[in-house]
């Protein structure tokens, strides 16, 4: 028996939809478990961080990318390769600082919110996709890049796009070669 040519893509779509629905159920359960949105946000970030520190190995093995030489290359790699590989979308990148250590990832479409219409009014400070911030932060830390990752804009809160801010905490020139 032979496989139908579009079978693998169909399986990926089913897997992504299953992930998105499961993620929605996870967030709903966390909202039941925690009264404060801040606690849910922290929990999602922590879970994402744990995923990110493990996911980077899979990313490096599957993508066969070369070492990034700058923060902008790193951010482009996240936006163009990692988001495409794991979420099926790409993001655009904006540099937000003259120092070259602050960037924004702008997602026109965020697959994690495909089945979410809007946040309830009592959950206005919930950062529904905060898991993504933790994943990015955890993965960057595993390649020795300390970063602060936060949501700047969110479609679920009425913004036109989803925007994730990445601030690298060390300047590029602070990295010194330890071998002489």
Q: For 89-106, what is each residue's pLDDT tens digit?
A: 999 999 988 888 999 999
The C-alpha atoms of residue 22 and residue 20 are separated, in whole angstroms, by 5
Residue 139 has pLDDT above 90, yes or no: yes
How confident is the model at residue 40, as a pLDDT?
Answer: 97
* N residues, the chain: 180
Among 79, 138, 129, residue whose Cα is nearest residue 104: 79
User: What 8-state DSSP symbol labels residue 174?
Assistant: G
Tokens in use for 32?
Answer: 């039941």
Residue 77: CB atoms within 10 A of its CB come to: 17
Q: Closest by alpha carbon to 55, among 165, 127, 143?
A: 143
pLDDT band of residue 141 (cuts 50, 70, 90) is: very high
Which pTM value belongs to this model?
A: 0.86
If one looks up domain 36-113+127-168 in CATH, what number appears? Answer: 3.30.1380.20
């Amino acid at each position: 028996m032979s496989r139908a040519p579009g079978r693998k893509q169909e399986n990926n779509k089913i897997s992504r939809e299953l992930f998105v629905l499961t993620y929605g159920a996870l967030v709903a359960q966390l909202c039941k478990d925690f009264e404060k949105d801040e606690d849910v946000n922290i929990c999602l970030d922590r879970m994402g961080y744990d995923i990110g520190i493990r996911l980077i190995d899979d990313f490096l093995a599957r993508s066969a990318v070369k070492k990034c030489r700058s923060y902008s290359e790193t951010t482009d790699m996240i936006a163009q390769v990692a988001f495409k590989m794991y979420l099926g979308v790409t993001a655009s990148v904006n540099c937000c600082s003259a120092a070259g250590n602050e960037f924004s990832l702008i997602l026109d479409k965020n697959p994690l919110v495909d089945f979410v219409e809007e946040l309830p009014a009592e959950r206005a400070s919930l950062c529904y996709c905060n898991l993504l911030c933790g994943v990015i932060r955890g993965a960057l830390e595993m390649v020795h890049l300390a970063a602060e990752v936060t949501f700047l804009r969110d479609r679920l809160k009425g913004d036109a796009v989803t925007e994730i801010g990445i601030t690298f905490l060390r300047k590029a020139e602070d990295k010194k070669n330890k071998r002489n």
